[in-house]
């Protein structure tokens, strides 16, 4: 079977490239970017991924120079383009203007990798450095307003490179570009059949549960009720039988309103056996009392999950010699936690804290989905016969509402920013910064930036989309933009960020507003049009209350995301409903894409 290799430079989208290639029917494998060229000669093509490093940094990921002497086609993406230029005699320079998010390229050569595309194409950028001079033999294939060499190619050697990311869903014809490279340039044949994967995963489960003495271990899953853990559990039951797989649900107190009961009922309806429910609400709230730092919150929750798991595994029934831990971990959980050699840590997932890594090292963890993305997990679920009511549920983070309830260590005030305010005024809005830092992903690196709040004008989605991109590209100290829905205009003298920690009262309020939003999306037939809609509680106060931020996004796999432009009348109606909730002082609409913002705020 023909194979293509993706050389991993540490980019957040490395495995996404491989998955997109597999979707086209060509088997893709991932190898470190420094893999010896002699080991790559048998592949039909090479793709060099993006990465968080700069080619100017000492020790930055580098390919074997002999790679470029192989007689096989090569495609460089983002950092991969810069590596190609650097190794072949071109010139790379630090960018004065960063490009993160949507951009429009002008195609100069509508052949080879751009065959069948239009003169203007929408693409997704995430870079700082840029190619200022192409290597000898290359010609310009595409450009943007801020990036002269958006794509280049040497057709005689079948070397091509693009500064944007064709693998992400928001590069509209990115799959066509990859298809052109595989079939038009590389001459590959579509022989890979992903439908075979269910049987392969089940066979892998059976292999992994055997210990060194070839004894057949059992598996204990701690289920969340989400798509990933449900599919992973179902695969294990099919592979091992119901007598060797058990499920426990830990109620941390951070789930959605009524979710514990709902999950138990769904589990019973699916005929997967009984679900043991363990109530640990008091324990989790006690451990998080007074904690405000987001990373500390995640780590405490992760450690506490393991403590609970260890306590349960210590029961005689779950002797570690006979049982191992099952998890619904999917690949973005691994890659965004710095799970590959050069990858930047974007956020710490609860199933990748230190103690979980230790269990993995001891071969005590089964993760059937660790190489799959969310959309692939749903396809596996369909193949397993799971109903849409389970598979189409919006993703929900493992730490639950704890990471959607923002905290503040001390009283803070909104901050004016002349540069952002001037840019916003050109579009008819007023703007200020909130000193609440949220997580972003820019240039394949994690960033912490302040929140930009726009207000004082009606919602115009197209205007706001362009303004958001300009703000986050031009001002590195902000990576997220939200617009005020209610009140429309904000008097900064009346508002402040109050000191706030995680309390049962704040979580209860967040559960209430989250329930209102979820019900509204169902009633307005918007739920299935949205991939996920985090509802975030901010301690931004006018009358001693809280502010709600809405984040409806569309995505395929969570690696990139685009804000869903809910019609203005429906937005206004939802904001009005939330304004009636006791304790809510304001409502914001998060209008940021990923990149530059992550889906979750923390």
What CATH code is carried by the domain that includes residue 49?
Answer: 3.40.50.880
Same structural domain for residues 166 and 148? yes
The answer to whether residue 602 sits within a structural domain is: no
Beta bridge partners of 123: 103
Contacts of residue 345, defined as CB under 8 A and 6 or more positions apart, other chains included, come to: 336, 337, 338, 446
Same structural domain for residues 178 and 216? no
- Give the pLDDT confidence score for residue 270 in this predicted structure: 74
- Give the pLDDT confidence score for residue 206 in this predicted structure: 95
Contacts of residue 493, defined as CB under 8 A and 6 or more positions apart, other chains included, come to: none
7: closest CA among 154, 196, 161, 133?
161
The answer to whether residue 595 sits within a structural domain is: no
The CATH number that applies at residue 365 is 3.40.50.620
pLDDT at 348 > cutoff 60:
no
Same structural domain for residues 180 and 256? no
Last residue of a domain, one of 133, 151, 185: 185
DSSP 295: H
Split at pLDDT 50, 70, 90, the class of 119 is very high
With tokens 């099919």, the residue in question is: 238
Assigned token pair, 388: 């849409």
pLDDT digits (tens, 9 = 90+) for 280-334: 999 999 999 999 998 899 889 988 988 887 788 777 677 667 888 898 888 666 5
pLDDT at 498 > cutoff 70:
yes
- Mean pLDDT for the stretch of residues 417-422: 97
Last residue of a domain, one of 185, 220, 254: 185
The answer to whether residue 569 sits within a structural domain is: yes
Split at pLDDT 50, 70, 90, the class of 459 is very high
More confident site: 371 or 67:
67
The answer to whether residue 413 sits within a structural domain is: no
Same structural domain for residues 426 and 553? yes
- Mean pLDDT for the stretch of residues 52-77: 93
Split at pLDDT 50, 70, 90, the class of 346 is very low
CA distances from 231 to 214, 241, 261 (A): 26, 15, 19
Same structural domain for residues 199 and 181? no
Q: What is the mean pLDDT of the chain?
A: 89
Contacts of residue 259, defined as CB under 8 A and 6 or more positions apart, other chains included, come to: 225
Asked if 576 is an active-site residue, the reply is no
Same structural domain for residues 230 and 300? yes
pLDDT digits (tens, 9 = 90+) for 203-257: 999 999 988 777 888 998 988 878 898 999 999 999 999 889 999 999 999 999 9
Burial 475-498 (b: 16+ CB within 10 A, else e): beebbbbbbbbbbeebeeeebbbe
Mean pLDDT is lowest, of 150-154, 169-173, 287-291, 366-370, for: 169-173
CA distances from 152 to 107, 138, 163 (A): 10, 6, 9
pLDDT at 169 > cutoff 80:
no
Same structural domain for residues 44 and 150? yes
Last residue of a domain, one of 185, 207, 226: 185
Percent of the chain topping pLDDT 90 = 61
- Residue 477 CA to residue 372 CA, distance in Å, equals 33
More confident site: 155 or 146:
155
- Give the pLDDT confidence score for residue 112 in this predicted structure: 96
Asked if 268 is an active-site residue, the reply is no
- Residue 562 CA to residue 596 CA, distance in Å, equals 10
Choose, from 102, 167, 259, 562, the residue flagged as catalytic. Answer: 167
- Give the pLDDT confidence score for residue 515 in this predicted structure: 97
Beta bridge partners of 139: 153
Cβ-in-10-Å burial (0-12, 13-18, 19+) of 31 comes to middle
Q: Is residue 36 reached through a cis peptide bond, with omega within 30 degrees of 0 on the bond before it?
A: no
Same structural domain for residues 44 and 124? yes
Choose, from 127, 165, 437, 455, the residue flagged as catalytic. Answer: 165
| Number of domains comprising the chain | 3
The answer to whether residue 409 sits within a structural domain is: no
The answer to whether residue 412 sits within a structural domain is: no
The answer to whether residue 406 sits within a structural domain is: no
Choose, from 78, 147, 407, 533, the residue flagged as catalytic. Answer: 78
Same structural domain for residues 371 and 512? no
456: closest CA among 481, 424, 419?
424
Same structural domain for residues 212 and 352? yes
The answer to whether residue 597 sits within a structural domain is: no
Cβ–Cβ under 8 Å, residues 322 and 218 = yes
Same structural domain for residues 259 and 120? no
- Mean pLDDT for the stretch of residues 442-467: 88
- Mean pLDDT for the stretch of residues 94-119: 86
Which range of residues forms the domain containing residue 167? 3-185
Asked if 78 is an active-site residue, the reply is yes
Same structural domain for residues 435 and 454? yes
């Amino acid at each position: 079977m023909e194979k293509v290799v993706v050389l991993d430079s540490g980019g957040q989208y490395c495995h996404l490239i491989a998955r997109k290639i597999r979707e086209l029917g060509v088997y893709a494998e991932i190898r470190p970017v420094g893999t010896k060229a002699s080991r790559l000669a048998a592949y039909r093509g090479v793709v060099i991924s993006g990465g968080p490093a700069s080619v100017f940094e000492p020790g930055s990921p580098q390919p074997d120079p002999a790679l470029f002497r192989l007689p096989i086609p090569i495609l460089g993406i983002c950092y991969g383009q810069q590596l190609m230029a650097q190794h072949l005699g071109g010139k790379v320079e630090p960018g004065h203007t960063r490009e993160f998010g949507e951009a429009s390229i002008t195609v100069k050569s509508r052949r080879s990798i751009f065959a069948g595309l239009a003169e203007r194409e929408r693409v997704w950028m995430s870079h700082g450095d840029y190619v200022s001079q192409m290597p000898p033999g290359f010609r310009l294939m595409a450009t943007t307003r801020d990036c002269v060499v958006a794509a280049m190619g040497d057709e005689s050697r079948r070397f091509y490179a693009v500064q944007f990311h064709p693998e992400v869903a928001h590069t509209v014809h990115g799959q066509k570009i990859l298809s052109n490279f595989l079939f038009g340039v590389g001459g590959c044949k579509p022989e890979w059949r992903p439908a075979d994967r269910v049987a392969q995963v089940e066979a892998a489960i059976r292999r992994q549960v055997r210990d060194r003495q070839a004894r057949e271990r059992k598996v204990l899953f701690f289920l969340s009720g989400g798509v990933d853990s449900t599919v992973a559990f179902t695969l294990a039951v099919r592979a091992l039988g119901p007598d060797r797989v058990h499920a426990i649900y830990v109620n941390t107190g951070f789930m959605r309103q009524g979710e514990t009961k709902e999950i138990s009922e769904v589990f019973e309806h699916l005929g997967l056996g009984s679900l043991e429910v363990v109530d640990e609400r008091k324990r989790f709230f006690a451990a998080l009392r007074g904690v405000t730092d987001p990373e500390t919150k995640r780590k405490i929750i992760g450690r506490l999950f393991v403590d609970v798991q260890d306590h349960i595994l210590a029961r005689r029934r779950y002797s570690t010699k006979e049982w191992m831990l099952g998890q619904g971990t999917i690949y973005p959980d691994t890659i965004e936690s710095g799970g590959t050699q050069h990858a930047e840590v974007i956020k710490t997932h609860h199933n990748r804290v230190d103690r979980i890594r230790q269990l993995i090292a001891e071969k005590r963890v089964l993760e059937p989905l660790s190489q799959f993305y969310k959309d692939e997990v749903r396809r596996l679920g369909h193949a397993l016969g799971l109903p849409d009511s389970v598979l189409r549920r919006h993703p929900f983070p493992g730490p639950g509402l704890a990471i959607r309830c923002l905290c503040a260590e001390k009283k803070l005030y909104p901050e004016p920013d002349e540069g952002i305010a001037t840019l916003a005024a050109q579009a008819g809005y007023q703007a200020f910064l909130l000193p609440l830092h949220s997580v972003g992903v820019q240039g394949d690196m994690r960033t912490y930036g302040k929140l930009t709040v726009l207000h004082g004008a009606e919602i115009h989605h197209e205007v706001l989309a362009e303004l958001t991109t300009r703000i986050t590209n031009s001002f590195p100290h902000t990576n997220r933009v939200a617009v005020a829905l209610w009140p429309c205009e904000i008097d900064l003298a009346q508002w402040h960020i109050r000191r706030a920690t995680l309390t049962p009262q704040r979580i209860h309020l967040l559960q209430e507003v989250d329930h209102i939003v979820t019900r509204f999306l169902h009633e307005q037939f918007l739920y299935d049009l949205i991939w996920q809609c985090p509802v975030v509680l901010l301690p931004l106060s006018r009358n001693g209350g809280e502010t709600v931020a809405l984040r409806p996004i569309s995505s395929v796999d969570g690696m990139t995301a685009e804000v869903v432009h809910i019609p203005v009348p429906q937005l206004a109606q939802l904001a009005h409903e939330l304004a009636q909730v006791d304790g809510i002082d304001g409502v914001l609409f998060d209008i940021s894409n990923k990149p530059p913002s992550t889906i979750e705020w923390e």
